[in-house]
Amino acid sequence: MKAVVVTDQAAGTAGMALVERPKPEAAGNDVLVEVHASGFTPGELSWPSSWTDRLGRDRTPSVPGHEVAGVVSALGYGTRGLSVGQRVFGLTDWTRDGTLAQYVAVEARNLAPLPGDVDFTVGASLPISGLTAWQGLFVHGRLQSGQRVLVHGAAGGVGSVVTQLAREAGAYVIGTGRAADRQAAIDFGAREFVDLDNDVLEDAGEVDLVFDVIGGDIAKRSARLVRAGGTLVTIAGPPEARP
């Protein structure tokens, strides 16, 4: 099969090459997926797991990409819950070969059925952003209906999913971003929009939850907007200030 591999961390995306690789086998509890669409972010080339396994051993040449949508091609021994020919999408293990290939072996527990009315490309774009948004809002943020939520980068890859999920949960969403992002954020479900270049962030008022994707000064200022008992969730790094 054809696959994209990386061998030189210093080279970044310039070191990616299209090669012939053996088709992977589906081990126990694995699913072999024929890849129809794959999600890849260049940032993963800086992750240690792209270059070494869990024991720290070199695993290059490795196949990057962790998001996938496709069709089940084969099932490993003991695999249950999915069937050959079924449309699926999901997230591959960080330390196994990824999805920039014609086939990928994935643990069954990391896949879900892909509805027939969802395009493969859309399915492959959802796992990392979608899980990040869901965990931030509901696992760590404990979002409740009627709460006020400030979503930074409300039109971005993660922020757009956060905005939609918060709206569906019955929250009052205040989105932020650049001026050009205003309409997209409103379309995704933001009730208000703060242009971080021209508006005053503090005018947003008190909120129950901040979902931050920016960090730095924006995260520090946002912490001051969280009312007593509220939460600040950030994916940009450890917060310098706490609510």
From residue 142, alpha-carbon distances to 105, 137, 149, 210, 223 in Å are 34, 6, 11, 12, 17
Sheet containing strand 67-75, strands side by side: 103-107, 30-39, 67-75, 87-91, 111-113
Q: Which long-range contacts (CB under 8 A, 24 or more apart) does 225-234 make?
A: 225/150, 225/201, 231/140, 231/141, 231/142, 233/136, 233/137, 233/140, 233/141, 233/209, 234/210
For 49-75, the pLDDT digits (tens) are: 999 999 999 999 999 999 999 999 999
SS3 state at 3? strand
Backbone angle region of 170, left / alpha / beta, with phi > 0 → left and psi within -120 to 50 → alpha: left
How far separated are the first and last CA of the chain, in Å rounded?
A: 51
Q: Note the pLDDT tens digit of each residue in 12-32.
A: 899 999 999 999 999 999 999
pLDDT higher than 80, residue 241: no
Indicate if the pLDDT at residue 164 is higher than 70.
yes
- Residues 188-223: tens digit of each pLDDT: 999 999 999 999 999 999 999 999 999 999 999 999
Write out the two tokens for 94.
């960080």
The percentage of the chain sitting over the pLDDT mark of 70, rounded to a whole number, equals 99
The pTM assigned to this predicted structure is 0.87
Give 243's pLDDT tier (boundaries 50, 70, 90).
low
**Alpha helix segments (H runs only) across the chain:** 120-125, 127-134, 159-168, 182-188, 216-223
Instruction: Spell out the domains of the chain, with CATH numbers in brackets.
Output: 2-124 (3.90.180.10), 140-234 (3.40.50.720)
